Amino acid sequence: MASPALTTGYRNLTSPVSLLRTLASTRFATPLLRYKHSPRLTSSSSRRFTCLSSLQTDSTIQTTLSSSGYPEYNRLMPCPAHNFPPRIEHMVVLEDVRVADYISKQLDLPPLYVADLIEFGAVHYALVCPKPPLTATPEQVKLFKEVTSPSVLSKRTSIKGKTVREAQKTFRVTHSNQFVEAGTYLRVHVHPKRSPRCYEIDWKSRIIAVTDSYVVLDKPAGTTVGGTTDNIEESCATFASRALDLAEPLKTTHQIDNCTEGCVIFARTKEYCSVFHTKIRNKEVKKLYRALAAAPLPCGIISHYMRPVNMAPRLVSEDSIKGWHLCQLEILECKKIPWPDAATEKEHGIEDCGWTSRDFAYECTINLLTGKTHQIRAQLAACGAPLVGDSMYMPAAIAETVNPEVNPYGKGNEHFTILEENDKETAVAEWMDRHGKEPKVGIGLQACQISWEDDDGEHFYEAGTPWWR
């Protein structure tokens, strides 16, 4: 059975010593390659978004802890109000087996719970086990070397013609009856991140437009556009598809943050999905945002450079740094309005992040010139005007107001460039620690307008009234 030891929130290879045997003598069934990688919502996914909703009322979830310290698992529905702590299991399959049966046996999970995990998109596989992290134990490293040795891999017909790196690419397991062969790597997100907000929304009322090619949604805050690594069920794409009773699920064309509300375009066909992706890549899609900032901002273009690290918080600098990405936005208008009252903030799940001056806020209309993750949030915070309710960036902005030197990339820290590399890394780590956690629901940010041109003319859409008005 898999080991329960956690390492930095994630599990390493968890097969016990008894499983550390070579795969050279195992038998091989039909290669796993018959399960080609497909879009996240396939024909089996069509079944998902029409049937899992019934589990919300027909099933119960047990929260009693077992002797192992984990919950006594039953089903994934109904959606709990709070997430369980992360539990991610990494395993190497040592026999040809039906994937759901193997997971259920190795992790001691009920078969129906495993089936739910697969329907949620919480189970991933790779033909060859990825390299374990530096925190892996000697036994885990030994297992990795055994199952990836050239003598073992040469006997696996499913990876012929592939490089090891290609064979280590992960895909979702799409149905419970899927078979995997010996040597296959599995990653199981036993506690997928849940989105109870999805069940609170009147999704039909959030639909702005429906055409033959696309659907425009006024996305509610506190929801994901297309899902997460471990949960593609509780997403805007799935719930909007269900609300419209579509025969084919909607396809994601672009993203906005979970805590952001406003206009999102979903394609109804693969062809239009490709068309819209091309328009975004060619900067042919114009997006305007409304931002509720805690301090005033001047009209005009604001430029920063964003650190090329794909993790939050996103760090930005006014100075150009080699390899960093240019971020630009244009403040078209900034007007002073009353700070939302406590009742309004509570109704919309807006967090009090410690900003002291709460008499007035500043509603800005922003033309997004480049589209980087967290760009508006990070840039406005760097200007000393974080967004209302932004629990990730406002604490750092407050800290910098008190002591400008805490920001290694700020105006008050010219000496940062002459520091030794170790000291620079320490300063950056301390600055990241000044930031908070991602907001639970919403912040003062709305994707208020989106427009583009097709062969049939201009397409222009606006979101509804932002939560703070």
Give yes or no: 390 in active site.
Answer: no
Compute how many other C-beta atoms are within 10 angstroms of the C-beta atom of residue 251: 24
Rounded to whole angstroms, the Cα distance separating 119 from 41 reads: 10
Span between the terminal Cα atoms of the chain, in Å: 54
Question: Cβ(382)–Cβ(318) under 8 Å?
Answer: yes
DSSP bridge partners of 209: 216
Rounded to whole angstroms, the Cα distance separating 396 from 200 reads: 32
Rounded to whole angstroms, the Cα distance separating 380 from 143 reads: 48
Burial class (CB in 10 A: 0-12, 13-18, 19+), 369: middle
Torsion of CA 414, 415, 418, 424, to 10 degrees: -100
Compute how many other C-beta atoms are within 10 angstroms of the C-beta atom of residue 95: 14
Compute how many other C-beta atoms are within 10 angstroms of the C-beta atom of residue 378: 26
Q: Does the N-terminal peptide bond of residue 298 adopt cis geometry, omega within 30 degrees of 0?
A: no
Q: Which residue, among 135, 115, 137, 125, has the nearest Cα to 52 in the 3D structure?
A: 115
b/e burial code for range 103-129 (CB count within 10 A of at least 16 → b): bbebbebeebbbbbbbbbbbbbbbbbb
b/e burial code for range 3-28 (CB count within 10 A of at least 16 → b): beeeeeeebbbbbeeebeeebeebee
Exactly one of 116, 218, 230, 257 is catalytic; which is it?
A: 257
Name the residues annotated as catalytic. Answer: 257
